[in-house]
């Protein structure tokens, strides 16, 4: 056996270590104490369980899609059923997994702790947001059980208003409610970050995790209501025949597209910014360096949020919009690549000459940086007008957004879950098994989605359940990759559950990280800190941490 790889992990002596006697998990007992809690950490755990549930339901639909596409003929399911499969996959993954994934779990758990607050500003609204999420999820499951919906996740009119007899209304109501859940999360974060920072915690001492969540919250608060009114108009059109999107009554279906994408493009930044939030923390901790260009990374989050509102029309280049506006939106789209690139470059410079170690969260973070870069750059392809007309509505676009959403966001989510797992539960996950899972996920992901770039480039359209014989080899590769990917996602569920009972005791700060959340016990107390901390140093100040640790040792000695 080779020597174990170097690690920064420092665990307390396992023969004497115990979990803290009092913490937020055992502060109160019984199901009701969880269901009626106001504690942001408990609500984060509730969210974590629920989004994992919906992730696997959405994942099961993806599995069926890939199984159908194993052969060129439409043999496993009928084309109608196939339409329902990709619709339900998209709706569940977008609205019930990706949008709440990092903010509602890690963000909820960590933002108050990172800024030295006892809770979010509005604990009851936080709980309400979880109940709205559950109501939306239940409605969605009901719609599925009653026969599903087949509009595509985009609810495109007039298809959704005139031509389908599936459960469009139920699903639209579910998405409307899920939207309010997201609005309340964003609103809570913004108020908390503005008003609840501890003494000394200036804006430019906040961890970049908080900055990125702040930017994502602005998008949630400003974008989601537009989706809400759009869905209301779709519902009114279905129920009362109001014709705002109906050409036969003078309405314009393109207006629907404008309103829908005005939310749904910023929504992809709602999904990715919290992922970037995680990566900043992880890259800094496992390189033992302050994030390079802290201010630039902080402002790039805000820039992404700002530019994100002015690019929506790039989803509509082939839909008959004016050539001049298409030109402007194409240029604006490329502009968004700039702040994203600022982040990637700054993380690379953070790594440069850092003391890099390769624990699981860092492996996932490397996965994120590579895959997000590919996803982002292919986004620039699609943002250029000529390429877009060739590639849109093909598998190229499917591959592009899965690289960003799955390769980017899901990798970041798993990175964050592993990184803060010891803080959330007080116990370590098994390191070698989790490294295996990270590698399996990476390989499975590339095998699934890399062939789809080629398929799309060769002209295979998305959303069809049958395809010409010549595309089969690449589709088989993709389906094989999906199987590997499925294993990669199941592994963490199993070993993280195992670690709840058998994992090593983590101690307060196993990663030697600098955030305020690490300077308190794991799992934390209900009120987070015994006394409100005073922030007297910059973020990511490893010298401060070293000094503090030395001081503690001499103090005890």
Partner 1 sequence: MDSAIANTQVDHDTAEHEHVVLPQHRHHFATEEQQREAGSFGMWLFLLTEIMFFGGLFFAYLLYRNWYYDAFVAASNQLSVPLGAANTAILISSGFFMALAVWASEVRKKAMLVVFLILTILFGVAFLGIKAVEYHEKYEKHHIPGASFDASQFINPSAYGLNEKPLPPDMAQKTQMFFFLYFAMTGMHALHMVIGLGLLFWLLARAQKGDFTSGYVAPIENFGLYWHFVDIVWLFLFPLLYLINRHPLAH
Structure tokens at 17: 């270590």
Q: Are the C-beta atoms of 11 and 427 separated by less than 8 Å?
A: no
Q: Write a three-state SS string for 280-331.
A: HHHHHHHHCCCCCCHHHHHHHHHHHHHHHHHCHHHHCHHHCCCHHHHHHHHH
Q: Is 343 helix (H, G, I), strand (E, B) or coil?
A: helix
Provide the minimum distance between the beta carbon of 157 and partner 1 in the complex, in angstroms, as a whole number: 13
**What dihedral do alpha carbons 316, 374, 461, 76 form, nearest 10°?**
-130
In the bound state with partner 1, the residue whose beta carbon lies nearer, of 23 and 384, is 23
In the bound state with partner 1, the residue whose beta carbon lies nearer, of 148 and 223, is 223
Between helix 360-383 and helix 253-287 the angle, nearest 10°, is 150
Structure tokens at 106: 């890690």
Q: Are the C-beta atoms of 120 and 37 separated by less than 8 Å?
A: no
Per CB under 8 A, residues contacting partner 1 are: 117-119, 121-123, 125, 183, 187-188, 190-192, 194-196, 199-200, 202, 221-226, 228-230, 232-233, 236, 240-244, 249-252, 255, 258-259, 527, 532, 534-536
In the bound state with partner 1, the residue whose beta carbon lies nearer, of 179 and 367, is 179
Q: Are the C-beta atoms of 40 and 524 separated by less than 8 Å?
A: no
Which residue is associated with the tokens 């359940």?
Answer: 465
Q: Are the C-beta atoms of 113 and 528 separated by less than 8 Å?
A: yes
With CA atoms as reference, report the closest residue to 83 among 176, 138, 153. Answer: 153
Q: Write a three-state SS string for 371-412.
A: HHHHHHHHHHHHHCHHHHHHHCCEHHHHHHHHHHHHHHHHHH
Structure tokens at 496: 């993280």
In the bound state with partner 1, the residue whose beta carbon lies nearer, of 18 and 324, is 324
> Residue 170 to residues 28, 51, 133, 414, 429: CA-CA distances in angstroms?
37, 20, 15, 31, 40
> Residue 84 to residues 140, 209, 300, 305, 477: CA-CA distances in angstroms?
13, 37, 38, 32, 24
> Residue 420 to residues 9, 115, 205, 522: CA-CA distances in angstroms?
13, 16, 20, 10
Q: Are the C-beta atoms of 392 and 470 separated by less than 8 Å?
A: no
């Amino acid at each position: 056996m080779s020597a174990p790889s170097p690690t920064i992990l420092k665990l307390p002596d396992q023969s004497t270590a115990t979990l803290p006697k009092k913490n937020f998990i055992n502060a109160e007992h019984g199901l009701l104490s969880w269901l009626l809690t106001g504690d942001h950490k408990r609500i984060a755990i509730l969210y974590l369980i629920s989004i994992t549930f919906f992730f696997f339901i959405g994942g099961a639909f993806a599995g069926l899609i890939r199984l159908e596409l194993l052969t060129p003929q439409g043999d496993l399911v009928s084309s109608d059923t196939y339409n329902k499969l990709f619709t339900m996959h998209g709706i569940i993954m977008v609205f019930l997994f990706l949008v709440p994934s990092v903010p509602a779990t890690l963000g909820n758990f960590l933002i108050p702790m990172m800024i030295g607050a006892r809770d979010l500003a509005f604990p009851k609204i936080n709980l309400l947001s979880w109940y709205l999420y559950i109501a939306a999820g239940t409605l969605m499951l009901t719609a599925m059980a009653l026969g599903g919906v087949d509009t595509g996740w985009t609810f495109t009119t007039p298809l959704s208003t005139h031509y389908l007899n599936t459960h469009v209304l139920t699903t639209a109501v579910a998405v409307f409610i899920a939207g309010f859940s997201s609005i309340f999360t964003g609103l809570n974060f913004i108020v908390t970050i503005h008003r609840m920072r501890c003494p000394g915690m200036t804006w430019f001492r906040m961890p970049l995790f908080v900055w990125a969540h702040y930017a994502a919250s602005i998008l949630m608060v400003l974008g989601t209501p537009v989706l809400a009114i759009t869905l209301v108009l779709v519902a009114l059109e279905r129920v009362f025949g109001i014709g705002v999107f109906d050409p036969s009554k003078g309405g314009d279906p393109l207006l629907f597209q404008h309103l829908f994408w005005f939310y749904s493009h910023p929504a992809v930044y709602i999904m990715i910014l919290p992922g970037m939030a995680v990566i900043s923390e992880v890259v800094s901790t496992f390189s033992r360096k302050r994030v390079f260009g802290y201010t630039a990374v902080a402002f790039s989050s805000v820039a992404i949020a700002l530019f994100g509102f002015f690019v929506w029309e790039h989803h509509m280049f082939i839909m008959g919009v004016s050539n001049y506006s298409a030109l402007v939106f194409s240029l604006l789209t490329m502009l968004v690549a700039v702040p994203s690139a600022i982040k990637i470059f700054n993380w690379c410079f953070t790594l440069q000459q850092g003391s890099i170690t390769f624990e699981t969260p860092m492996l996932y973070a490397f996965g994120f940086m590579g895959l997000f870069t590919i996803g982002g750059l292919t986004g620039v392809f699609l943002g250029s007008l000529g390429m877009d007309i060739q590639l849109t509505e093909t598998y190229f676009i499917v591959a592009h957004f899965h690289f960003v959403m799955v390769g980017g966001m899901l990798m970041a989510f798993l990175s964050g879950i592993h990184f803060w797992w010891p803080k959330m539960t007080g116990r370590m996950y098994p390191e070698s098994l989790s490294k295996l899972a990270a590698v399996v996920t990476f390989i499975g992901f590339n095998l699934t989605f890399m062939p789809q770039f080629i398929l799309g480039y060769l002209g295979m359209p998305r959303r069809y359940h049958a395809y010409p014989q010549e595309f089969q080899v690449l589709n088989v590769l993709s389906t094989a990759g999906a199987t590997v990917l499925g294993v990669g996602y199941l592994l963490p569920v199993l070993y993280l559950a195992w670690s709840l009972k058998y994992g090593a005791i983590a101690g307060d700060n196993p990663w030697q990280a600098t955030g305020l959340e690490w300077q308190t016990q794991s799992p934390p107390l209900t009120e987070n800190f015994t006394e409100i901390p005073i922030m007297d140093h910059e973020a990511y100040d490893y010298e401060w941490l070293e000094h503090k640790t030395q001081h503690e040792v001499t103090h005890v000695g």
